[in-house]
Structure 1
């Protein structure tokens, strides 16, 4: 089956990234015994293997794509707009003291939701449904769990919020204009 590699990659990658949902106590025990940096290093290995399998499986599945629907032309434009939102949300995770992080608490997870949903709007193959649908479902489940965990207290600053929006917009522009084509062989514009 042409989706098998993609499915293995998704199970491995999303499984490792779901440890907090199903094994928070085990995770904390491992961090305490190994140390945070060692835990992250070990955690990274299956994550990278899963990511590589996802990429290889997605490419393999698209050699003979199975079309489920033909998205209307306007969906590409909506996807590009939603990707701006997604990129800003992803950047909000890393810039301290911004209002977006204060409001959402876990902007990366929301950014993954927006990314996956946006790509489902403009892509109609079985591989797209499996890939982006899996990430959408995962981000919905992980966000529910993440909202229940304590979050760092931040004192938002409008300068950091503006920096978040500007940096996110700049990265989105570069990605839309050049990187998406370079990395995935498809130009969104």
Structure 2
């Protein structure tokens, strides 16, 4: 489980620089250059993600059960996952879904993490999904504070229409269906429908 923890610290840590110190992030980017900062950020993120995947896989070989979710929560988890892929796609396509969710990527992470906490009860699950849920909540709170203080760089609003919403909705539902029916079992060895 140590590798999972190290991976989470690296991945969520580097994604928390702006949460902890928005001015520090800006100063570091100026000192390193925006390209250099993004390069180091990307390398640390990939290293953290690789360690998360590896560490979680190792932890699944000797699970430490903390709680056993009732079967009804697995059904609720499937329902909570329904908007996740729609929100992930909407994060990149300006439209009503993006405006309504405000931060669709963070909302998707919260739904994904909560759904998996409801369906899984090992220590590794609580570390992985609980860590991402706490990070997403902290980042959303931080974004509100940074926006109020004028520290949040908001890109100009891009025109978006119903087509983007339709793409996000239909594309997200198709990806959800593929994941539930096939990809989740193929990628992670767990059939969410079982």
Fold equivalence (TM over 0.5): yes
* SS in structure 1 at match of 2:112: helix
**CA RMSD, 1 decimal:** 1.6
Q: Which runs of 4+ in 1 moved over 4 A?
A: none
Preserved contact between residue 90 and residue 164 of structure 2 (Cα < 8 Å): no
Q: How many residue pairs end up in the alignment?
A: 186
Instruction: State the Cα distance separating 1:23 from its structure 2 match.
Output: 2.6
Provide the residue aligned with 2:170 in structure 1.
166
Please list the CA deviations of residues 139-179 of structure 1 after superposition, one character each: whole Å capped at 9, or x if unmatched.
10001112333533344422211211111111111122221
Provide the residue aligned with 1:50 in structure 2.
48
Preserved contact between residue 80 and residue 115 of structure 2 (Cα < 8 Å): yes
Preserved contact between residue 106 and residue 146 of structure 1 (Cα < 8 Å): no
Runs of at least 5 residues in structure 2 that lack an aligned partner in the other structure: none
Counterpart Cα distance in 2 of 1:128 and 1:47? 20
Indicate which of 99, 107, 110 corresponds to 1:110. 107
* Stretch of structure 1 that moved more, 117-126 or 153-162: 153-162
Counterpart Cα distance in 2 of 1:50 and 1:140? 20
Instruction: State the Cα distance separating 1:57 from its structure 2 match.
Output: 1.2
Instruction: State the Cα distance separating 1:36 from its structure 2 match.
Output: 3.5
- Asked if 1:121 is matched to 2:118, the reply is yes
Indicate which of 132, 149, 154 corresponds to 1:151. 154
Provide the residue aligned with 2:39 in structure 1.
41
Counterpart Cα distance in 2 of 1:117 and 1:8? 22
Counterpart Cα distance in 2 of 1:183 and 1:105? 30
Preserved contact between residue 180 and residue 187 of structure 1 (Cα < 8 Å): yes
